[in-house]
Amino acid sequence: MDTKDSNGTILNDGDSVILIKDLKLKGSSQVIKRGTVVKKIRLTDDENEIDCKINGSSIVLRPEFLKKA
């Protein structure tokens, strides 16, 4: 099972990625801006989910909104 970013590049645990779209967090008024660098991602059992921390909060992102840094 390979998790790929928006460009088709395979992602690995510990990679750094960049958001390619502004994302509004569900249940919050917070917005994560395009261009935000996310370091040390963790892959999950689901290839459509990536676990990471942004501003101290644990968040699950979808790989189609990311590109490898």
**pTM for the structure as a whole:** 0.88
Tell me the chain's radius of gyration from C-alpha atoms: 11
Note whether residue 6 is domain-resident: no
68 SS3 class: strand
The count of structural domains within the chain is: 1
Q: Which domain holds residue 29?
A: 17-68
pLDDT, tens digit only, all 69 positions of the chain? 799 999 999 999 999 999 999 999 888 898 999 999 999 999 999 999 999 999 888 999 999 999 999
pLDDT at 32 (0 to 100)? 94
Note whether residue 29 is domain-resident: yes
pLDDT at 47 (0 to 100)? 92
pLDDT at 28 (0 to 100)? 86
